[in-house]
Amino acid sequence: MSELRPCELYLISPLETSGDFPSHLEKALDAAYVAAFQFRVKGIDQHKAAELAKPLQEICAQYDTAFIVNDDVALAKRLKADGVHLGQGDMSLSEARAILGDAMQIGITCHDSRHLAMEAGEDGADYVAFGAFFPTQTKTVSHKAEIEILEKWSTVMEVPCVAIGGINPNNAKLVIDAGADFIAVSGGVWNDPIGPDHAVKAFDTLLSA
């Protein structure tokens, strides 16, 4: 395998980001460097989503953490976010790029498929996401990705890859060593019994090793 590229932490929000969640995010980002934060909410209108996103986006800016919007291209444009993450059932990459321009990052969910990832890379995706690698309670998943997909991708492709799905400090080393450029984590941080800062520090220790 070729020399591995540095791996970084990519946080994904819980579905509930109201109340005291901004303080939890600030604790997490203050604990160690986090490359990106994805704002992921469901079932609310764009105005309410923008209200919830704004303070989180400001916190991310303070810590030089990229602010990524899940699924919603219009919201990403409205917020002038750093990027948008699209699933296979969302707007096409070409349509999103036409709306958002070249400066905004666009990531694509590719499940367990190198074919989908190669198509996304050819279409200009800034990163591709593979998963789920481990059991997860964050969302219902129907695709199980094998570690080998990260090994093969990182060896031959320049487009960064994100590993997602049930990643926690106990299993993260497997996907880090396999060549993931980012590990995307939600429950592994927000459900930590000690606190999100404790989890982020644990991930940072693994990533810095």
Give per-residue pLDDT as tens, 89-145: 999 999 999 999 999 999 999 999 999 999 999 999 999 999 999 987 766 666 799
List, in sequence order, every residue forming a beta bridge with 8; answer none if it has no partner: 182
Pick from 185, 151, 118, 26: nearest CA to 206: 185
Q: How far apart are CA 159 and CA 184, in angstroms?
A: 16
Position 2 scores a pLDDT of 41
Position 137 scores a pLDDT of 72
Position 209 scores a pLDDT of 86
Position 153 scores a pLDDT of 96
DSSP, residue by residue, 153-191: HHHH--S-EEEESS--TTTHHHHHHHT-SEEEESHHHHT
Position 1 scores a pLDDT of 31
Encode pLDDT of 93-108 as tens digits: 999 999 999 999 999 9
Which residues of the chain are modeled with pLDDT < 50?
1-2
Position 63 scores a pLDDT of 98
Position 138 scores a pLDDT of 64
Position 4 scores a pLDDT of 56
pTM value is 0.95
For 63-185, where are the alpha helices, taking DSSP H only?
A: 73-79, 93-100, 114-122, 148-156, 172-178
